[in-house]
């Protein structure tokens, strides 16, 4: 598998997760929409790394890595926005999925939370797709 193949596979998976996020929002499963949106951002940024022949770190928030490694290749304002979205959604990753003794994820997240998460995920996917459509 080439790094371009890995990038393509990752962005395709991100697209599937984005579909699942929008479906979750429609079913009023807002916590699941937030969780899937985090996956979208993570997979999209990993696709970006693969596209530039970088092995992405095995973590959920790779925004700082992307900023450091790709800061001279991609518009810094777009890269910064993607990194911020990655960091913010990674913070919500566990709480959007796991029930605690204090609150259920179903009760913690609103439609606005889901809308914001999906909007951010759509931005990242869109920007990564633009980059992937170009040659290195």
Per-residue pLDDT tens listing for the chain (136 residues): 899 899 999 999 999 999 999 999 999 999 999 999 999 999 999 999 999 999 998 877 899 999 999 999 999 999 999 999 999 998 887 777 666 656 677 788 899 999 999 999 999 999 999 999 986 5
CATH 3.30.2130.10: does it fit domain 3-132? Answer: no
Distance in angstroms (rounded) separating the CA atoms of residues 30 and 36: 10
Distance in angstroms (rounded) separating the CA atoms of residues 95 and 16: 22
CA distances from 32 to 6, 65, 94, 115, 116 (A): 26, 26, 11, 12, 13
- The tokens 């693969």 sit on which residue? 50
- pLDDT at residue number 12: 97
Q: Residues of 58-87 as b/e, b for ≥16 C-beta within 10 angstroms?
A: eeebbbebbbeebeeebeeeebebbbebbe
Distance in angstroms (rounded) separating the CA atoms of residues 34 and 135: 32
**What is the value of pTM for the model shown?**
0.92
Contacts 24+ apart (CB under 8 A), 63-72: 63/87
Domain boundaries, the chain: 3-132
Q: Hey, what are 105's tokens?
A: 């994820």
């Amino acid at each position: 598998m080439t790094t371009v193949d890995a990038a393509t596979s990752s962005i395709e998976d991100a697209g599937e997760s984005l579909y699942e996020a929008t479906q979750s929002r429609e079913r009023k499963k807002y916590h699941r929409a937030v969780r899937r949106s985090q996956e979208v951002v993570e997979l999209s940024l990993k696709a970006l790394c693969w596209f530039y022949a970088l092995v992405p770190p095995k973590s959920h928030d790779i925004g700082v890595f992307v900023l450091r490694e790709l800061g001279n290749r991609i518009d810094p304002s777009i890269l910064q926005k993607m990194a911020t979205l990655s960091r913010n959604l990674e913070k919500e990753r566990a709480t959007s999925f796991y029930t605690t003794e204090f609150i259920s994820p179903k009760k913690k997240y609103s439609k606005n939370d889901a809308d914001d998460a999906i909007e951010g995920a759509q931005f990242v996917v869109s920007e990564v797709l633009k980059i992937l459509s170009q040659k290195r």
